[in-house]
A and B are shown apart, each in its own frame.
Chain A
């Protein structure tokens, strides 16, 4: 089955620790995105990548980092510099030439 997987579904970390969220897609999509959702707010763009080895900051990139070494994978690291990391994180991908983004099931990160 083609799709986007995110792991883990729930993640708990202590304050001050870096944590990496996984996003993998087997849709052969060129573009990938990371969003954050907080209660009562829309999805906010953290980072996006249109091709391998290239990525751009979104609206709320501070305290986050990404890499895009393979087309299929776009991991997001939440660093200790992110002041309020507890949130729901969604990964998405998009095929070149289309506008529709396809989403993974999300990871809920709780920092204790």
Chain B
């Protein structure tokens, strides 16, 4: 079973703060790295899929970077808002896996007004 680690496990920030969290994954047999946002009482929602080393993706105030050689991805949120409060999941897709994903345990972000 592959090991996908996310840190920190939880995070509280003030509205307007910028924040970032980390996803670590195996550096071999890489296929894709996914980020999902999971708000309470809702379904997980896809944010980004990244496949190339050095990829950077951006969606509004949220961006992500990817380093496949060292096996990590960062998710950044600029100027956090209360509606950003959610659990952020990363998922590692490895080659030859029929597109299965291995999920980290998530970073739970709370943005305080």
Listed in ascending order, the chain A residues whose CB lies under 8 Å from chain B are 4, 31, 35, 40-45, 48, 50, 56, 58-59, 90, 94, 99-106
Q: What chain A residues lie within 8 Å of B100 (beta carbons)?
A: 45, 48, 58
- A103 and B34 alpha carbons, distance in the complex (Å): 14
* Shortest Cβ distance from residue A58 to the other chain B in the assembled complex, whole angstroms: 7
**Do the beta carbons of B105 and A105 come within 8 Å of each other?**
no
Q: CB within 8 A of B89: which of A43, A56, A99, A106?
A: A43
**Is B26 an interface residue when CB atoms closer than 8 A count as contact?**
no
**Do the beta carbons of A99 and B34 come within 8 Å of each other?**
yes
- A105 and B43 alpha carbons, distance in the complex (Å): 5
Given contacts A43-B89, A50-B98, contact A101 B46 (CB under 8 A): yes
- B residues contacting the other copy or chain, number (CB 8 A): 26
**Do the beta carbons of A31 and B1 come within 8 Å of each other?**
no
- A58 and B36 alpha carbons, distance in the complex (Å): 21
Listed in ascending order, the chain B residues whose CB lies under 8 Å from chain A are 1, 4, 9, 31-32, 34, 36, 41-46, 49, 89, 91, 93, 98-106
Q: What chain A residues lie within 8 Å of B34 (beta carbons)?
A: 99-101
Q: What chain A residues lie within 8 Å of B93 (beta carbons)?
A: 99
**Do the beta carbons of B44 and A90 come within 8 Å of each other?**
yes
Q: What chain A residues lie within 8 Å of B9 (beta carbons)?
A: 40
Q: List 21 A-B contacts (CB under 8 A).
A: A4-B43, A31-B99, A35-B103, A40-B9, A43-B89, A43-B91, A45-B100, A48-B100, A56-B98, A58-B100, A90-B44, A99-B49, A100-B34, A100-B49, A101-B46, A101-B101, A102-B43, A103-B43, A103-B45, A105-B43, A106-B43
Q: What chain B residues lie within 8 Å of A43 (beta carbons)?
A: 89, 91, 103
